[in-house]
Homo-oligomer: A and B are copies of this chain.
Amino acid sequence: MDKSLCAELIRSRLDSEASGSRTQTAFCLAIRRLILDGELPPGSPLPPTRMLTNELGLSRSTLVRAYEQLRLEGYLQSRGGSATLVSEALSFTAPSNAPRGRPWRHGRPLSRRGAEIAQHATSSPIQSGAFVPGVPDVRLFPFATWRRLLSKYVCFEHRQLARYGHGGYGPLKAVLAEYLRVSRMMSCSPRQILILNGSHQAIDLCARMLCDEKDRVWMEDPGYWGASNVLRANGLHIEPIPADDQGMSLPADPESPPRMIFVSPSSQYPTGVVMSLNRRIKLLELAEAHESWVIEDDYDNEIRYHPYTIGSLFSQARSQRVIYLGTFSKTMFPGLRLAYLVVPEDLAESFAIGNAELYREGRLIEQAALAEFIDAGYLSAHLRRMRNIYQERRNVLRRAIESRLGDLVSTTGGLAGLHLPYFFNQPFDDVALSEEMLEAGIVLRPLSMYYADAGHCRSGMVLGFAAVDAKTIESASDQLCTVVERRRQRDQEPLPARPGQQ
């Protein structure tokens, strides 16, 4: 190719791809693209820098550096004195004429499990407002204290905390063991505790360390879909087990026992039911008999509205079949992304290794700040304050809903946590209701969507009350009740004589 033609080609490529920008980077990109697209074939001579200076208005030194860069990357080679060529050694199998950036057309871009994850996606991009469940009021978090503690550990003196952190921050685990002893009557050693980046990662670790592809997991139905999605992504087969007013209703004599059982005994999600003692005993007996693993998701026990602690399943278990899962997303703030597992002694080492291998650990600065936050009593003080505030919001919500919807709804929750579940006592399209509310800017999760098994699915509403103040809860509740009443009248369904199950 004639050298001035080549210069012309470079100029037009610069104009079309870099919008006329004249920098070393843009020049390099243009040359690379011309070579990779086959427009400057191997062995083509490039214009001398002197010529390009005139053509492109780039300085000679910039061009010299650019040629050097392209030589180093293998695009260009020198020959003789100053002649520069496209590398003769370059070999293209078949210069494709396909337009650049052509997306795949034939194969499936995602894997089967990837497609399933994307398809089952349920997490909402809206995570604030009146009825978003499971989200605490981050406005009331003591940021000044947290900032002070973080700052204390972000410094040269604590530089070792900036490294990879094998096994988590020891003092945090010690503080947690003590915290669990006092608040959950649990007896465990710091060695049994693993710090993780949120509950999902904790569930993921359990699924991988304890279950293989196609293993069966029992989950409460209705239940926490986030956990289902993580377990399903690990190739597990989920069997929904109905949860009633005593919690997970275990089959009398299961034909094929599960490898894992995922439960929220302190406050069933989303119904808020406390698992009865008989069910707990049965669950533990079953797990022991069949060597099933029990994951106890204790996501919001700290936020309770009665003076008594419901003992954790972990503390009740005679055997070592229970793994306890706690989180700071509700008690601190969700963006912290810190949760923890308490595993049986005999699993402690494998789990610690698995955690390091799979995720690599670190974040010791945050863990050190958290250890002090708990140890100095800031967490307890924050929880005491929040319990009162949340209780008031719960009361406002309950009053607003029950005074207007009366017999139409009933609840099983309210003892603890950040949401109230309401069942409709007569047929009611909760999905359509949720869609109508979303148009008004209010996130309302239909209860029916928490069910995996359509056979015993009930309609209702999962109403978060914690993220906003009582006034907002009240006005949003009024809006909601108005919509519910209007929809009920439109449906022209008479109320049943007495409330009953749908």
Contact = CB atoms under 8 A, between A and B. Distances in A.
A175 interface: no
A201 B238 CA distance: 24
Given A93-B285, A359-B198, A162 B316 contact: no
A74 interface: yes
A209 B110 contact: yes
Interface in A348-377: 350, 353-354, 356-365
Interface of A: 25, 28-29, 32, 36-37, 65, 68-69, 72-75, 87, 89-94, 96, 98, 100-104, 106-107, 109-115, 117-118, 120-125, 127-128, 135, 138-139, 141, 143-144, 146-147, 150-151, 154-156, 159-167, 181-182, 185, 197-201, 204, 208-213, 215, 226, 229-230, 233, 235, 259, 276-278, 281-282, 285, 288, 291, 306-311, 315-316, 318-321, 333-337, 344-347, 350, 353-354, 356-365
A337 B281 CA distance: 41
12 contacts: A91-B278, A96-B288, A96-B318, A101-B318, A109-B347, A114-B209, A151-B151, A197-B337, A198-B362, A200-B360, A204-B359, A213-B235
A90 B115 CA distance: 46
Given A110-B350, A163-B335, A209-B117, A315 B29 contact: yes
Given A92-B281, A128-B163, A204-B359, 17 more contacts: A32-B311, A65-B307, A75-B277, A98-B319, A104-B291, A107-B291, A117-B354, A117-B358, A118-B350, A135-B163, A139-B156, A146-B154, A162-B335, A204-B358, A230-B358, A233-B357, A337-B363
Contacts of A161: 335
Given A28-B185, A90-B277, A68 B201 contact: no
Contacts of A212: 111-113
9 tightest A-B contacts by CB?
A74-B277, A114-B209, A335-B362, A162-B333, A107-B291, A138-B162, A147-B154, A337-B362, A103-B346
A261 to B, nearest CB: 15
Contact of A113 (B208, B259, B278, B356): B208
A352 to B, nearest CB: 9
A182 B29 CA distance: 11
Contact of A278 (B89, B210, B235, B344): B89
A192 to B, nearest CB: 12
A65 B306 CA distance: 12
A306 B213 CA distance: 47
A143 B155 contact: yes
Contacts of A109: 210, 346-347, 350
A309 B350 contact: no
A91 B397 CA distance: 38
A101 to B, nearest CB: 6
Question: In the complex, which of the residues A68, A154, A346 has the most CB atoms of chain B within 10 Å of its own CB atom?
Answer: A154
Nearest to A68: B308
Contacts of A210: 109-111, 114
Contact of A213 (B150, B164, B213, B336): B213
B92 A208 contact: no
A36 B118 contact: no
Contact of A74 (B144, B276, B309): B276
A281 B91 contact: yes
B32 A316 contact: yes
A316 to B, nearest CB: 6
Contacts of A75: 277
Contacts of A32: 311, 315-316
A185 B29 contact: yes
A390 to B, nearest CB: 17
A347 B117 CA distance: 13
A113 B350 CA distance: 12
A278 B321 CA distance: 55
Given A117-B357, A150-B151, A318-B37, A185 B25 contact: yes
